[in-house]
Amino acid sequence: MAILVPGVKSILRKSSFHVPKGYLAVYVGESERKRFVVPISILDEPSFQDLLCKAKEEYGFEHPMGGLTIPCKEDIFIDMTSHLKIF
């Protein structure tokens, strides 16, 4: 199951690998990771870019999860993304 972040409350119940056009999947968490589907417009946000830098420092460009993994607590990620004007 993936959580769609445009309001942070919607849940995608189709295939766990389905990502709508204009969105990307990210894995969030420090030990147990949850999959979130976020709009690509989030990539322009400075606070999200900070998370990407943290991910690069921690994992480099190759991570065994196979996808973009953000090493922060899930509640922090939800709080940060829910305040962004990305839509």
Domain boundaries, the chain: 2-82
The whole-angstrom separation of Cα 58 and Cα 65 is 13
Instruction: Return the higher-pLDDT residue of 65 and 57.
Output: 57
Claim: this prediction has a pTM higher than 0.95 = no
**Dihedral sign, Cα of residue 11, residue 24, residue 17, residue 56:** negative
pLDDT of residue 57: 86
Instruction: Return the higher-pLDDT residue of 11 and 50.
Output: 50
Give pLDDT tens digits for 10-41.
433 334 567 889 988 888 888 888 888 888 88
